[in-house]
Amino acid sequence: MSRICSSRYVKNNDIRYGLKVAHRDPQSSKVIGLQCRFCIAFGREEKLGSKRKVATTVQGWSHPFRYDNIENHLRNHHSGQWALY
């Protein structure tokens, strides 16, 4: 899978990475915040051998968007669902 390190919002990545627009700039309507739909729908997966409780918060990102960080989140916290997706 190619790595996209763009800092601008790319609408096609909403479907590619399962993202939801969370916040827009009130004056320009540009997207300034995204949320993980996997966190919203399924919650985070439990890591085997982890001593910590699974986080219940929804992961969010603000502009500038680093899609490589979003992909890392999906691989680390939603590995089973991400593989199916």
Q: For residues 21 and 14, is the Cβ–Cβ distance under 8 A?
A: yes
pLDDT at 4 over 60: no
Q: What is the CB neighbour count within 10 angstroms for residue 76?
A: 12
pLDDT digits (tens, 9 = 90+) for 52-83: 888 899 999 999 999 999 999 999 999 999 99
Token pair listed for 28: 């320009």
Inside any domain, residue 77: yes
Q: For residues 23 and 14, is the Cβ–Cβ distance under 8 A?
A: no
Work out how many domains the chain is built from and give that number: 1
pLDDT at 6 over 70: no
Q: For residues 5 and 68, is the Cβ–Cβ distance under 8 A?
A: yes
pLDDT at 52: 86
pTM of the model: 0.85
The whole domain housing 40 covers 12-84
Inside any domain, residue 6: no
Tell me the three state secondary structure of residue 35. Answer: strand
